[in-house]
Structure 1
């Protein structure tokens, strides 16, 4: 955990203890597609769909699929295949396609698109399902379509997502009202046993979260005993609302959606959360830079070898050069793929190398990434509701909306704005950031500054 003087830096509502580490995600360059037969025409179409799935996993966000370079590559997807095989399970036939990692990465480099490496944060999802007057936290083994849909999403996007067991241990620690009320301390305490890097609380409701006016027509129809079959049809389209909250880098992000299909709403929420996480760790090849770091506590030849291999294996690092070695201190020049902020973000997923601060502010510079010790709520549904706040933001953060895309279900259309950061967030004067459109979705976030020294110093955890 980053520390400067007595200020503790907060990261992604995480439990960054010694046991909290990211996961190495396998098969990022592999995808499975359901097919009807093994004929060539179906295989070619399925291969194109599989390549699109790989682009989404390593590209992190849906917008990459619209890039001309990747769209062109999909038309000749077979050129990028390394192997394929068929699998039959429960009378369902699937084509499993593996693609050449180097060739796919070259496409992203050609398109100047960022790559998301295989080391990814584990996400703990607390999902509260409210049906009428009944509320429950969905367990990982619940007799419901929700856990399986979450698992499918996790596989498709390459993001490790787990749900709570809701066993005897959870029953003694979890108070449902704490989660429904988004109480951060209680949520964090209940989540400790799962050692997750990121904690998400999601609520989906067909009652208390739904606007009364939106539900009036449906309620009147359902209360009419003479409506017969019409009542059964109306029950299928009862409006639902989903919202979620993620605490990331000292900022509390929240978002809200409405629709009629619960699974679609959950997938939309998870998709936006994935893109929120992706922004911190994506690597842009065109943004390559050199970075000199100092590492302490390297006390043996074994430690030297382990440290060098550790740095070399980082997806954000292209090459490592040892500059100097004196006592237990080493200095390295790193050729980075992407920005220094992306490199520092990737280190937060592994506690082998922790950054040390000496308390001297003079040697520090600021970059646009993490670590604002103040808590700020970013409500992406109501960004301009406060005129005074909007005036404050004019001098710090300038949001803009671009590239709208239609989203979610057949009834509700939603747009994906991009919020761009053109300055430094003033956390002391901003308590809540809001936006007008009640159905707008987050794709980019407002990021506070991080404190990065000109010569960052790290401590190597041996063993």
Structure 2
């Protein structure tokens, strides 16, 4: 029993040096008269995305913007409370769904286990320097902690008990004497030490990204900076977050499994392919589209979804570009083409018909301005998709065909001065 107790104490001792597990999927938003509950949920999801990536501009990603309109699909739990006489919406988002979204948006992920930073904050006011303690209210330190919490950056402040006030003085921190700083920091077992010196409207900081035991190792230079202005604390949190997110981020390779196969027949012209691919990417239910294979007048897409299959099919119907074939769709095995030469088949150029035969130069058409914004050349094939494992994967396949354009569209083309015969456009 004594050995077992010693083992527990030993584990507790070493566990103090482990990184902090941050709940990046939880968000609280206060409701006010200018914000309804739906807007609060969107804001809550934005907070989670920023915390999960470490990037403030992650919410501007086109895929994330689409997903925000479907925020209910990412919520796993919601409750309400009161804080400072204001109604609070408490939200817990699905970790799996958020990770899938980041993969679809090709955004980096900052893992939940993050370095714990011990903050030594010293203020110089009227030639008197004081250390900010956890048990003594300090507006600047409270603001710093709140900003860090929103970004998922674990900060701790010394409590200011008898051990603290007898082991270190403000002058030790202000002068950056590492020996007393190391000794006073060891009891908190941080992963890094942040020294902040605040004087007037200037904030000088220095980050030692190492444990107290290694603080005297001069071979590891600290990071430092000087900030000023009303948002100096916000700037500091931004810089620290960017540093740790870049250092520890994980870029998930590949695409999400939440995808399906869309097979479209009778795409007789290159412009049809471009128009359809562009329309698919613009659907709010779609994260991204990969072109898997082109064979004859038939194109196969892998569509990565943000929503359900039903929602995707409803949007497909609204496009009025393709129509569902009578054959029933279902789960089929989609493997590698048997012929390697088929795997390397390129999509047709604008001078080449989709069936592989060269078009008459007189019938070649210029790509529209809208098509010129496409990211993928018509000569490219998704290399990642083509290099999949030969093992077949069970996926849902939808069978569609190109839809005859309505007369109104043809008349519009005639008004633009098209000199081509109507039969050659279909």
Cα deviation for residue 125 of structure 1 reads 0.7
Q: TM-score of the superposition, structure 2-length normalised?
A: 0.51
Structure-2 residue corresponding to 1:103: 97
Q: 2:234 aligns with which of 242, 248, 267?
A: 267
Aligned-partner SS, 1:186: helix
Aligned-partner SS, 1:117: coil
Cα deviation for residue 71 of structure 1 reads 2.6
Q: 1:255 to 1:65 in 2, by over 3 A?
A: farther
Q: Does 1:257 align with 2:218?
A: no
Cα deviation for residue 286 of structure 1 reads 2.2
Cα deviation for residue 165 of structure 1 reads 1.4
Q: Does 1:185 align with 2:179?
A: yes
Q: 1:93 to 1:137 in 2, by over 3 A?
A: same
- Measure, in 1, the Cα distance between the counterparts of 2:165 and 2:91: 42
Structure-2 residue corresponding to 1:278: 245
Cα deviation for residue 287 of structure 1 reads 8.3
- Measure, in 1, the Cα distance between the counterparts of 2:178 and 2:37: 48
Q: Provide Cα deviations, 1:37-58, integer angstroms capped at 9, x if missing partner.
A: 7x9x701110111011001111
Q: 2:202 aligns with which of 233, 237, 241?
A: 241
- Measure, in 1, the Cα distance between the counterparts of 2:179 and 2:70: 51
Aligned partners of 2:202 and 2:226 also within 8 Å? yes
Q: CA RMSD in A?
A: 2.4
Q: Does 1:197 align with 2:191?
A: yes
Aligned partners of 2:129 and 2:171 also within 8 Å? no
Q: TM-score of the superposition, structure 1-length normalised?
A: 0.47
Specify which structure has the bigger relative contact order, considering alpha-carbon pairs within 8 angstroms and separated by 6 or more residues: 1
Cα deviation for residue 74 of structure 1 reads 2.2
Q: Does 1:29 align with 2:29?
A: no
- Measure, in 2, the Cα distance between the counterparts of 1:43 and 1:68: 23
Aligned-partner SS, 1:286: coil
- Matched residue count: 234
Aligned-partner SS, 1:266: helix
Aligned-partner SS, 1:116: coil
Runs of 5+ consecutive residues of structure 1 not aligned to the other structure = 1-15, 207-239, 289-463
Structure 1 window deviating more from structure 2 (105-114 vs 49-58): it is: 105-114
- Measure, in 2, the Cα distance between the counterparts of 1:117 and 1:143: 31
Aligned partners of 1:44 and 1:78 also within 8 Å? no
- Measure, in 2, the Cα distance between the counterparts of 1:199 and 1:183: 13
Q: 1:92 aligns with which of 86, 96, 113?
A: 86
Cα deviation for residue 91 of structure 1 reads 1.6
Aligned-partner SS, 1:182: coil
Structure-2 residue corresponding to 1:234: none
Aligned-partner SS, 2:185: helix
Q: 1:69 to 1:24 in 2, by over 3 A?
A: same
Cα deviation for residue 181 of structure 1 reads 2.0
Aligned partners of 1:244 and 1:256 also within 8 Å? yes
Cα deviation for residue 175 of structure 1 reads 2.3
Cα deviation for residue 253 of structure 1 reads 0.6
Aligned-partner SS, 2:159: coil
Q: 1:83 aligns with which of 77, 86, 89?
A: 77
Cα deviation for residue 64 of structure 1 reads 2.1
Aligned-partner SS, 2:153: coil
Runs (4+) of structure 1 exceeding 6 A deviation are none
Q: Provide Cα deviations, 1:374-404, integer angstroms capped at 9, x if missing partner.
A: xxxxxxxxxxxxxxxxxxxxxxxxxxxxxxx
Aligned partners of 1:141 and 1:147 also within 8 Å? no
1:29-68 equivalences in 2 (<5 Å): 29-36=25-32, 42-68=36-62
Q: 1:72 to 1:129 in 2, by over 3 A?
A: farther
Cα deviation for residue 172 of structure 1 reads 1.4
1:36-435 equivalences in 2 (<5 Å): 36=32, 42-206=36-200, 240-248=201-209, 250-259=220-229, 261=230, 264-286=231-253
Cα deviation for residue 17 of structure 1 reads 6.5
Aligned partners of 1:82 and 1:100 also within 8 Å? yes
- Measure, in 1, the Cα distance between the counterparts of 2:14 and 2:225: 28
Q: 1:17 to 1:130 in 2, by over 3 A?
A: farther
Q: 1:72 to 1:243 in 2, by over 3 A?
A: farther
Aligned-partner SS, 1:150: helix
Aligned partners of 1:173 and 1:190 also within 8 Å? yes
- Measure, in 1, the Cα distance between the counterparts of 2:38 and 2:88: 13
Q: Provide Cα deviations, 1:130-156, integer angstroms capped at 9, x if missing partner.
A: 223222111112222234323322431
- Measure, in 1, the Cα distance between the counterparts of 2:202 and 2:59: 28
